[in-house]
Copies of this chain bind each other. A is one copy, B any other.
Amino acid sequence: MRIYGEPVSRLIEEFSRLPGIGGKSAQRLAFYIINLPEERAEALAGAILSAKRNVKYCGVCSSLTDSDPCVICANVKRDAKIIMVVEDPRDMAAYERTREYYGLYHVLHGAISPMHGIGPNDLTIAALLKRLQSAQTDEVIIATNPNVEGEATALYIAKILKPTGIKVTRIAHGVPVGGDLEFVDEVTLSRALEGRREI
């Protein structure tokens, strides 16, 4: 698309590399940027750099944060004796929106998936075990996604936590099987939390 000049072509190319953005959308976004006031374009570019540079993983729960430990791990009002294991920070955000969970989290950053070459060592399971050794934990709630990978991960974690004697529960199958936690409504998420069972 040389006819627009190099800066526009480059922006279109950069946008089209983002997930879920095709060629037409990339073009539309690029033209939108060009017509923005300069300070708005600078705000967007700055937000990209700032997020990339200042976001790190929480040393306790492995969630994304700009402070270490993250605001949830640092919150003394939360029940540190309960840890909910989730695949992704977005799943944590989804449970936070229910306003019914006051324990801590542990973010795995994925699920065991032999199909995609993801094994237990690619997740933060070792960090979870280490965390459980030093912390006084009553219960580990496994809230991985209700799909094949999530279930496999839940069973795997339940198995390796068995010797510790810590109560391990799984959120109830009130969540639709085959779905993605991130898109489940708050009421369903709350029901699933209430109906959790020991595994």
Q: Which residues of B contact A76 (CB under 8 A)?
A: none
Is the C-beta of A33 less than 8 angstroms from some C-beta in chain B?
Answer: yes
Cα A171 to Cα B167 in complex, Å, equals 73
Which residues of A49-68 are within 8 A (CB) of B? Answer: 49-55, 63-67
Task: Indicate if the CB atoms of A64 and B19 lie closer than 8 Å.
Answer: no
| Stretch from A90-98, A113-121, A133-141, A143-151 contacting the other chain | A90-98
In the bound complex, do residue A1 and residue B64 qualify as a contact, i.e. CB atoms below 8 Å apart?
no
Instruction: Name the CB-closest residue of B to A49.
Output: B45
Q: Is A47 an interface residue (CB 8 A)?
A: yes
User: In the complex, A144→B149 CA distance in Å?
Assistant: 52
Q: Quick one: CB contact mask for A61-92 with B, threshold 8 Å, 1 for yes?
A: 00111110011100000000000000001101
Does A165 have its Cβ within 8 Å of any Cβ on chain B? no
Q: Is the CB of B3 within 8 A of A32?
A: no
CA A50 – CA B65 in complex, angstroms?
Answer: 29
The segment from A21-29, A124-132, A156-164, A188-196 found at the interface with B is A21-29
Bound complex: CA A31 to CA B63 (Å): 12
Known: A1-B93, A24-B183. 11 other contacts (CB 8 A): A3-B72, A3-B96, A4-B63, A6-B66, A7-B54, A7-B66, A18-B29, A18-B44, A33-B48, A33-B52, A34-B51
